[in-house]
Chain A
Amino acid sequence: MSATGVITGGWGYVTAAYLVSAVTLSCYAASVVLRYRAEVRRAARESRLPGVP
């Protein structure tokens, strides 16, 4: 920060905030998609078991 109170630079913080956001949202979205596929596979497997309508 300069003597005038104006913040100079700071691109490192901006990059960090965007990277943290991208990584968090991507990882969570990937986990949701993977969990959904696993649940669909499990439901399909169980529906083929004898005695399950």
Chain B
Amino acid sequence: MADPFRPPPVPGPRLGFALMGLGALLLCIGSYLGLFVAPSESYMGDVYRIMYVHVPTAWNTMLAFTFAFGAALAFLIKGEFKWDARLEAAVEVGVMMAGLLCLQGSIWAKPTWGVWWDWDPRLTTTAVMFFAFVGILALRRFVEDPVKRATWSAVATIVAYADVPIVYFSVRWWNSLHQMQSSPETVSRAFLIPLRTNAFAVLFLMAGLITVRTRIAALRLRQEMAPPLPEPASGLAAEGAR
């Protein structure tokens, strides 16, 4: 195991900002294609256009939590704090996206299901996933010791991640209001191009956000692990008192 008191390196953020910019640009293009170029859907009319932001958010939320799971395993195996910084970043970005996913899904549910929310297997397991990872962020706020915080949040991430495959397979395992996953064979080509554009857009945006957020976590860890400032010399203190 590596020295647990060695702070993580903090490389520059250029790659992160470039990925964020590329993601934002692609998201504008994909959303334009999805809103104004793609045809209406036979049964859902124009409401289906929410898919172009909802589905990429869902895919990338699960990807962010999968990265956090990998970072948790890497920290526990290698003991390097760069993995703790990556875990913190991926969990925070994943929580933001999971919250957005629930909002988008709720807005889509109202015109199609007639309700904003239903305790259906997909929605319930997604809510459990959201709150489990919010709990990990809360845990990190309450533990001051960097070693304990990193170890406990890595273990908690591995436990919380058990819900992610359940979210994915919930629509296959149980009767769900939520539709099953589509594949390129079941989706018209006219719908695929904006969907894929936005999927890559959200992927780049998420990767950029995780990269920059990792730098923030690494800088904070360096500050926490820095040696304490030396005490002022007693002679100087006496001089000041006089």
Binding site for B on A (CB under 8 A): 1, 5-11, 13-14, 16-18, 20-21, 24-25, 28-29, 32-33, 35-36, 39-40, 42-43, 46, 49, 51-52
Residues 9-26 (chain B) with a chain A CB within 8 angstroms: 13, 17, 20, 24
Pick the contact of B47: A7, A28, A43 (CB < 8 A): A7
- Report how far A25 CA is from B204 CA in the complex, Å: 13
Q: Is the CB of B226 within 8 A of A52?
A: yes
Q: Is the CB of A17 within 8 A of B222?
A: no
A35 to chain B, nearest CB (A): 5
Q: Is the CB of A14 within 8 A of B35?
A: yes
- Report how far A5 CA is from B41 CA in the complex, Å: 13
Q: Is the CB of A6 within 8 A of B219?
A: no
How many inter-chain contacts with C-beta < 8 Å in the A-B complex? 94
Q: Is the CB of B209 within 8 A of A18?
A: no
A16 to chain B, nearest CB (A): 5
Supposing A13-B111, A21-B100 touch, asked if A36 and B216 sit within 8 A by C-beta, the answer is yes
A25 to chain B, nearest CB (A): 7
Pick the contact of A17: B96, B104, B112 (CB < 8 A): B104
Q: Is the CB of B111 within 8 A of A32?
A: no
* Chain A CB within 8 A of B223 CB: yes
| Of B48-56, B70-78, B123-131, B151-159, the one touching chain A | B48-56
